A and B are shown apart, each in its own frame.
Chain A
């Protein structure tokens, strides 16, 4: 189902904890698929045993804590970057990204994605900034397309 297993949580790792309607017990997300907009999750227990995997639409994932929210959005962002790399749309100037989740200035749930780009010491040229922004818009559009409750804001930053 998923495009790649590169960002999959292995059996020895724990994914972001989540609640989802109709499923009970401690659950954790192990993989996200942006094309089908689906999250794969599994039941887990404190002794390390893990249950079978199920899938639900991404929008039904409700991370349990602020930290789980960050981890879930990190999964989404990492998967998106891999997807763009495979499509040949990952520019060389992009270095890394950071994720922060919380509430935006109007109190709505938000995810802040900062794309760090290789930038000059002084002011950059307009054409360079436009290229950076084209990439930032692409990332934001792909995240908006997921139609999640948490609204994405994508900014640039100096690597």
Chain B
């Protein structure tokens, strides 16, 4: 998970840059938001790929991770955040869902939505408070993931991130 952790560290660094020297650069704030999202995206993506693929042949797991789609992941995470799961998923998880998974899902959905404006809207202005809040959400998701990553509920969650649309067939 080194890439995900490195991205999180970069997001935090960028969110704190230019402190005490007037206003932070918009480029730093924009990249901090986007990087915080991608940190969590890669954390969960790597877990999903590791679960779905053997180590060998080399490179297969990376290829499978690339198959993850942002929109599918958001759909799955939205259902977990609202604790509104279809029967074919609900039957595999604890009731109620562990709060860590619901919280991670909420942060994923929020970060994915948040990263669109810094990535695509040049007119939008960002302030450090909102950016630090988003990076903090990503950090929290990482901590929570450590608590539940070896549980069946976590396995169903990452499988849902990968297969949500296919499962609904």
- CB-contacts of B99-135 with A (<8 A): 103, 106, 109-110, 112-114, 116, 127-130, 132-134
User: Which residue on B lies nearest to A132, using beta carbons?
Assistant: B133
Interface membership of chain A positions 107-148, coded 1 if the CB is closer than 8 angstroms to chain B and 0 otherwise:
000100010010101111010011011001100100010010
CA distance A104 to B136 in the complex (A): 22
Task: Contacts A105-B116, A137-B106, A157-B127 given; indicate if A124 touches B132 (C-beta within 8 A).
Answer: yes
CA distance A132 to B20 in the complex (A): 21
Contact B130 A130 (CB under 8 A): no
Q: Is B78 an interface residue (CB 8 A)?
A: yes
Contact B129 A133 (CB under 8 A): no
Chain A residues, CB < 8 A from B75: 106
- CB-contacts of B7-44 with A (<8 A): 15-16, 19-20
User: SS class of chain B's interface: helix, strand, loop or mixed?
Assistant: helix
Chain A residues, CB < 8 A from B109: 153
Q: Which of B113, B132, B137 interacts with A123 by CB under 8 Å?
A: B132
Chain A residues, CB < 8 A from B15: 123
Contact A158 B130 (CB under 8 A): yes
Chain A residues, CB < 8 A from B133: 129, 132-133, 136, 155-156
Q: Is A151 an interface residue (CB 8 A)?
A: yes
Contact B110 A153 (CB under 8 A): yes
CA distance A147 to B84 in the complex (A): 10
User: Which residue on A lies nearest to B127, using beta carbons?
Assistant: A158
Chain A residues, CB < 8 A from B110: 140, 153-155
Contact A158 B106 (CB under 8 A): no
Chain A residues, CB < 8 A from B20: 121-122
User: Which residue on B lies nearest to A153, using beta carbons?
Assistant: B113
Chain B residues, CB < 8 A from A156: 129-130, 132-133
Cβ distance A125 to chain B, nearest Cβ, rounded Å: 10
- CB-contacts of A14-60 with B (<8 A): none
Task: Contacts A105-B113, A122-B19, A122-B20 given; indicate if A155 touches B130 (C-beta within 8 A).
Answer: yes
Interface membership of chain A positions 86-117, coded 1 if the CB is closer than 8 angstroms to chain B and 0 otherwise:
00000000000000000011100010001001
Known: A119-B128, A154-B110. 10 other contacts (CB 8 A): A105-B112, A106-B75, A124-B129, A132-B136, A133-B133, A133-B136, A140-B110, A144-B82, A151-B78, A158-B129
